[in-house]
Amino acid sequence: GKTKSADSKICVLGNPGVGKSALVVRFLTNRFIWEYDPTLERVYRHQTLLDEEPTLMEILDTAGYDDSIHQEGNIRWAEGYILVYAINDRLSFEAVATLKQHLDQVKKTSVQCVLVGNKVDLLHERRVTTDEGELLAQEMACAFFETSASDGGEDIPELFYELHRDIKRRKMAE
């Protein structure tokens, strides 16, 4: 039969190694996979009952090819973005602000996103404060989560669902 179209299309972006795949896999399976093929890029279809509604989310775990045409295709495809940095990687944090500007340019609108500071289990290596994360999220007008894909990550489903709800809200308003 005909495949149902997704209620939300979510793209996970961020520098290589920040834990994008680990977050996606944790969300989908509630497991932490220590080594995940860093070159693998794929779309996951996730079906669930959310807010009492059958919901189909599509999640694109990007692999950060240098090919900008390819990346632009990913950006155009998506309706919302999970922007990930690692709290022990200053460069990955700085990359997020640039990335958001790029997304807005490509989509010709202020895109919907959530900001995620991953690897909070590595507290002793912290290079980005919680305040800095919050401030950047304010500037981007989006929700902010600090989390760890390796340590429990109880709040990981919420960051995906929050973005899904935002996407739905904007679609309804259109």
Residues within the interface to ligand GDP (CB under 6 A): 14, 16-22, 34-36, 38, 118-119, 121-122, 148-150
- The answer to whether 99 touches 20, Cβ cutoff 8 Å, is no
- Closest separation between CB of residue 22 and Mg ion, Å? 8
Coil, strand or helix: which one is 144? strand
Q: Strands (DSSP E) along the chain, which ranges?
A: 8-13, 42-50, 53-61, 80-86, 113-118, 143-146
Residue 148's binding partner, choosing from Mg ion, ligand GDP, none, with beta-carbon cut-off 5 to 8 A by kind? ligand GDP
Name the residue nearer to ligand GDP (CB basis): 123 or 135. Answer: 123
Contact flag: residue 21 with Mg ion (CB under 5 A): yes
Are 81 and 8 contacting, i.e. CB atoms less than 8 angstroms apart? Answer: no
Encoded tokens for 131: 């305040």
- Rounded Cα distance between 103 and 99, Å, is 6
149 binds, among Mg ion, ligand GDP, none (CB under 5 to 8 A by kind): ligand GDP
118 scored as a contact of Mg ion (CB under 5 A): no
19 binds, among ligand GDP, Mg ion, none (CB under 5 to 8 A by kind): ligand GDP
Judged by beta carbon, residue 17 or residue 157, the one nearer ligand GDP is: 17
Q: Please choose, from the candidates 25, 97, 17, 27, the residue with its C-alpha nearest in 3D space to the C-alpha of residue 63.
A: 17
Q: Which residue is nearest to ligand GDP (CB)?
A: 19
